[in-house]
């Protein structure tokens, strides 16, 4: 399949500018991610591609433009593992973790080769590739595949039941590395059986093979890069290996040299086999290096971004392009979306230490994972990067009294107080009731309505929930002692892994749960005095009674949200339930409402909502509708009562890359719905936005409406449930509709479905609540046909 990569044009922006403003309802957008894990840099005559954490970026040399390449602008998939340039044919080979392949041509076209991904053979890992004329040889975990780029199809393949680690075309011979052998066959011969290959001798498994000439082969091993002479009967080591492994793949320059680096030295292998080296300048040390121009112009990539340095014979280096980090999320697979203390701030974090968050089969220790977190503040992205990185991060919470201050939990290092990317204090065993043992994990941090910091973890002395009062938070952490912390009285419970503490904003309730099965839910009532703990009441629930009088005992609670009416929705391993009156949760007689979807077939039959899947997250949009992220059945949108499925998005019917959705969050200021997937964070344009208090901040787009526009005119900033009338210049009402939350959509048509004539139209909203006053006309819309 061939697609035009339309952003590879002169309209390329210098950076990808993020805007968290409204996106068109029904549309999807992938937020680029730049993970501080540099992988490959590939220079081409026109630009530079660089790969970090599975995400691909491109620098246009002519326009000095930098852009993220995603499914939004032409790629066919999400997580890349291998890129390599074919200078003779002018395209970049881009291989994905699922075996999918894109060929990105210099002309801007993209050709998709999905054959490996779609085949039944596995594993589908792409290990190495080699170019030969119109052919591409792809070494995979299952064998060797030959593609013809003239036909954009598989030309031949061999499934050997073993992984082919490397492949190269050296003159007339096709060479592969498999097991501990180096094998060869005449290039152009069949490759459907491993018996067709002859042995070139025993071999140390390699990560990459590259034929510099018909008789000179470079191999990148785990222990270093070797240079080998290929003879008719085998191979001969032409030189010792480099003393340490190469960072990134080997670059082949325009004049036929092979260039690679171990992070300290740059090695240049001439076509004749001679090796020279030169020290890298400080700015390129420990970088992944790439070049096509030659050793006098090097592109370096590290966790802080990409830089270009040039020299004359390696004697002195100057910076041709300052190090640049693309504006993108620092998290690719976000497990949590956490709203900040102010609505403009939204945090995305990785999984951290967990057991059941994604299901027992996805156990992740996480104690060796470095901190990855990012924040969206409307109109820009920022990475919450600490130096040195925080090991084994868990959750974070933004201080409502000082939103510039963020508290981050960890698996081994207690709680860090962070300001401007710098740790300004730590709470550990020396100043908090925390265990100092390795693996003692702080799973949860959250602020209640009184500004007190609640902490949940498995490394807390004699308790699993502790509270640092708001006044103690204002102290330097070094001045805080363990005695300053409050240990709430919660009888008959045992919290362990993945603790969640949720504070209602419309009632004096806090709900606590974890992934264990000893207790399902803890309901905690603060007595209306969040800073006084002596009047608090608590109820530990080990099972529930539903609206039909039936006992409901799911294995565990997994997610929670409070809707705009103060009702609490809780996702479980067996569906969704609602606590209609949260304050009743400390009453043993409380019943829950299990959400049901009626069959609507004339019977009273109904199915429990998402009963057979785990609900990983819940969020509420501006119209009080609920969004449900599930472990294996996609993303649900249900009405405010939870008895109707409005939409269900899956990998089959939407741009979602998988049916697992880790987290979902509805923007508090716009119609954007953030969707965390295994392949990145996406945005969806919802059909509802948060309601406003009055009509002083209306936003209408597009305006004017041009002749070629056939979509809907979006009006945001309305009061909740406003009745909106559209009138022409004579005052006649041509259309009316009811706002979803604070948004209404006008199709630029009359109520009869005909496009309106050219002219000025007047927006006449009527508030649902009579206490909100509106002017007779609050906005004008120009329509041009």
Q: Which string of DSSP letters, residue by residue, matches 39-92?
A: EEEEE-SSEEEEEETTEEEEEETTTTEEEEE-GGGT-S-S-EEEEEEETTTTEE
Of 737, 635, 741, which Cα lies nearest the Cα of 683? 635
300 domain residue, yes or no:
yes
Q: What is the CATH number of the domain that holds 145?
A: 2.120.10.80
Neighbours of 127 (CB within 10 A): 23
> Are 476 and 533 spatial neighbours (Cβ–Cβ below 8 Å)?
no
254 domain residue, yes or no:
no
355 domain residue, yes or no:
yes
**Distance in Å from the first CA to the final CA of the chain:** 36
Same domain for 437 and 388, yes or no, is yes
Q: How far apart are CA 603 and CA 749, in angstroms?
A: 39
Q: Which residue(s) pair with 558 in the sheet?
A: none
Please report where in the chains the tokens 């305006």 appear, as a residue: 703
611 domain residue, yes or no:
yes
Neighbours of 176 (CB within 10 A): 28
Neighbours of 304 (CB within 10 A): 15
Please report where in the chains the tokens 């609505």 appear, as a residue: 343
> Which whole-number Å values give the CA distances from 9 to 106, 597, 766, in the listed order?
11, 49, 46
Of 71, 69, 40, 67, which Cα lies nearest the Cα of 53? 40
Q: Which string of DSSP letters, residue by residue, matches 425-488?
A: EEESTTTSSB--STT--EEEEEE-TTSPEEEEESSBTT-SEEEE-HHHHTS-GGG--GGGSB--
Same domain for 206 and 237, yes or no, is yes
What is the predicted pLDDT for the residue at 357?
Answer: 61
What is the predicted pLDDT for the residue at 234?
Answer: 77
147 domain residue, yes or no:
yes
Q: Which residues contact 712 (CB under 8 A, 6 or more apart)?
A: 25, 745, 746, 747, 748
Same domain for 341 and 359, yes or no, is yes
Report the chain's C-alpha Rg in angstroms.
30
Q: How far apart are CA 469 and CA 451, in angstroms?
A: 7
Same domain for 652 and 704, yes or no, is no
- Structural domain total, the chain: 5
What is the predicted pLDDT for the residue at 412?
Answer: 79
Same domain for 109 and 141, yes or no, is no
55 domain residue, yes or no:
yes
Q: Residue 401: give the domain boundaries.
A: 330-480
> Are 552 and 544 spatial neighbours (Cβ–Cβ below 8 Å)?
yes
* Structure confidence by residue, pLDDT tens digits, 495-537: 877 899 999 999 999 999 988 766 789 999 999 999 999 999 9
Q: Which string of DSSP letters, residue by residue, matches 712-754?
A: -EEEESPBTT-EEEEE-TTS-EEEEEE-BBTEEEE-SB-TTSP
What is the predicted pLDDT for the residue at 3?
Answer: 52
Among 447, 480, 513, the domain-final residue is 480
472 domain residue, yes or no:
yes
Same domain for 372 and 470, yes or no, is yes
Q: How far apart are CA 9 and CA 60, in angstroms?
A: 9
What is the b/e burial string over 508-541, where b = at least 16 CB atoms within 10 angstroms of the residue's CB?
bbbbbbbbbeebbbbbbbbeeebeebeebebbbb
90 domain residue, yes or no:
yes
Neighbours of 459 (CB within 10 A): 20
Q: How far apart are CA 533 and CA 489, in angstroms?
A: 9
Same domain for 551 and 675, yes or no, is yes
Same domain for 111 and 180, yes or no, is no
Q: Which string of DSSP letters, residue by residue, matches 394-420?
A: EEEEE-TT-TTEEEEEESSS-EEEEET
Question: Which positions of the chain have pLDDT values less than 70?
Answer: 1-22, 238-244, 314, 353-389, 439, 461-462, 517-518, 769-776
Q: How far apart are CA 175 and CA 349, in angstroms?
A: 43
Same domain for 418 and 470, yes or no, is yes
> Which whole-number Å values give the CA distances from 306 to 66, 329, 351, 384, 541, in the listed order?
11, 16, 27, 19, 53
- Cα dihedral sign for 418, 423, 427, 429? positive
Among 216, 241, 266, the domain-final residue is 241
Same domain for 586 and 685, yes or no, is yes
What are the tokens at 49? Answer: 């591609």
Same domain for 202 and 220, yes or no, is yes
Same domain for 463 and 601, yes or no, is no
> How buried is 754 (Cβ within 10 angstroms: 0-12 exposed, 13-18 middle, 19+ buried)?
exposed
């Amino acid at each position: 399949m061939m697609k035009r990569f339309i952003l590879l044009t002169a309209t390329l922006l210098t950076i990808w500018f993020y805007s968290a403003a409204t996106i068109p309802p029904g549309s999807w957008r992938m937020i680029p991610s730049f993970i501080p894990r540099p992988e490959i840099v590939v220079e081409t005559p026109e630009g530079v591609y660089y790969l970090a954490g599975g995400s691909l970026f491109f620098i246009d040399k002519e326009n000095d433009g930098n852009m993220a390449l995603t499914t939004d602008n032409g790629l066919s998939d999400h997580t890349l593992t291998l890129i390599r340039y074919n200078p003779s044919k002018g395209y970049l080979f881009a291989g994905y973790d699922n075996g999918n392949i894109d060929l990105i041509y210099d002309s801007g076209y993209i050709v998709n080769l999905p054959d490996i991904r779609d085949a039944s053979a596995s594993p589908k890992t792409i290990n190495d590739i080699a170019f030969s004329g119109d052919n591409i040889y792809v070494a995979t975990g299952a064998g060797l595949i030959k593609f013809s780029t003239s036909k954009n199809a598989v030309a031949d393949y061999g499934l050997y039941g073993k992984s082919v680690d490397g492949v190269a075309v050296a003159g007339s011979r096709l060479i592969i590395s498999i097991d501990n052998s180096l094998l060869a066959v005449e290039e152009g011969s069949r490759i459907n059986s491993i018996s067709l290959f002859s042995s070139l001798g025993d071999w140390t498994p390699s990560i990459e093979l590259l034929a510099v000439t018909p008789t000179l082969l470079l191999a990148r091993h785990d222990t270093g890069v070797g240079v080998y002479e290929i003879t008719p009967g085998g191979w001969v080591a032409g030189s010792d290996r480099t003393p340490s492994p190469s960072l990134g793949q080997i670059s082949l320059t325009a004049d036929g040299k092979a260039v690679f680096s171990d992070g300290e030295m740059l090695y240049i292998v001439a076509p004749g086999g001679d090796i020279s080296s030169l020290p890298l300048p400080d700015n390129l040390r420990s970088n992944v290096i790439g070049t096509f121009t030659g050793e006098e112009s090097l592109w370096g990539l590290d966790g802080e971004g990409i830089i270009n340095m040039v020299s004359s014979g390696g004697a002195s280096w100057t910076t041709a392009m300052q190090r640049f980090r693309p504006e993108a999320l620092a998290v690719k697979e976000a497990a949590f979306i956490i709203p900040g203390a102010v609505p403009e701030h939204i945090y995305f974090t990785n999984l951290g230490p967990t057991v059941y968050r994604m299901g027992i089969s996805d156990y992740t220790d996480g104690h060796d994972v470095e901190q990855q977190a990012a924040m969206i503040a409307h109109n820009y992205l920022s990475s919450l990067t600490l130096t040195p990185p925080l090991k084994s991060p868990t959750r974070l919470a933004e201080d409502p009294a000082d939103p510039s201050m963020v508290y981050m939990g960890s698996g081994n290092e207690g709680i860090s107080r962070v300001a401007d990317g710098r740790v300004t204090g730590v709470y550990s065993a020396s100043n908090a009731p925390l265990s100092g043992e390795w693996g003692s994990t702080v799973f949860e941090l959250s602020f209640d309505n009184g500004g007190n910091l609640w902490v949940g973890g498995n490394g807390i002395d004699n308790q699993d929930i502790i509270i640092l009062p708001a006044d103690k938070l204002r102290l330097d952490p070094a001045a805080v002692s363990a005695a300053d912390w409050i240990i709430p009285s919660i009888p008959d419970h045992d919290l362990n892994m993945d603790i969640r503490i949720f504070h209602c904003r419309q009632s004096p309730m806090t709900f606590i749960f974890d992934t264990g099965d000893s207790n399902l839910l803890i309901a905690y009532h603060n007595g209306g005095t969040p800073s006084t703990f002596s009047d608090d009441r608590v109820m530990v629930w080990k099972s529930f009674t539903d609206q039909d009088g039936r006992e409901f005992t799911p294995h565990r609670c997994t997610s929670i949200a409070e809707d705009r009416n103060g009702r609490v929705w809780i996702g479980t391993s067996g569906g969704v339930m609602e606590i209609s009156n949260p304050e009743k949760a400390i009453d043993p007689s409380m019943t829950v409402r299990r959400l049901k979807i009626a069959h609507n077939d004339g019977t009273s039959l109904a199915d429990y909502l998402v009963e057979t899947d785990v609900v990983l997250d819940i969020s509420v949009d501006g119209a009080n509708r609920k969004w449900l992220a599930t472990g294996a059945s996609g993303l649900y949108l249900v009405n405010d009562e939870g008895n109707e499925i409005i939409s269900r998005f899956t990998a089959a019917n939407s741009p979602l890359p998988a049916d697992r959705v880790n987290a979902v969050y509805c923007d508090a200021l716009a119609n954007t719905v953030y969707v965390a997937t295994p392949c990145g964070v996406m945005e969806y344009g919802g059909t509802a936005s948060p309601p406003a208090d009055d009509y002083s901040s209306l936003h209408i787009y597009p305006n004017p409406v041009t002749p070629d526009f056939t979509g809907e005119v979006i009006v945001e900033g309305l009061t909740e449930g406003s009745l909106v009338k559209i009138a022409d210049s004579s005052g006649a009402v041509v259309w009316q509709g009811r706002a979803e939350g604070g948004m209404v959509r006008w199709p630029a048509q009359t109520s009869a479905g005909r496009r309106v004539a050219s002219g000025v139209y007047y927006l006449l909203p009527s508030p649902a609540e009579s206490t909100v006053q509106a002017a007779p006309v609050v906005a004008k819309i120009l329509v041009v046909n």
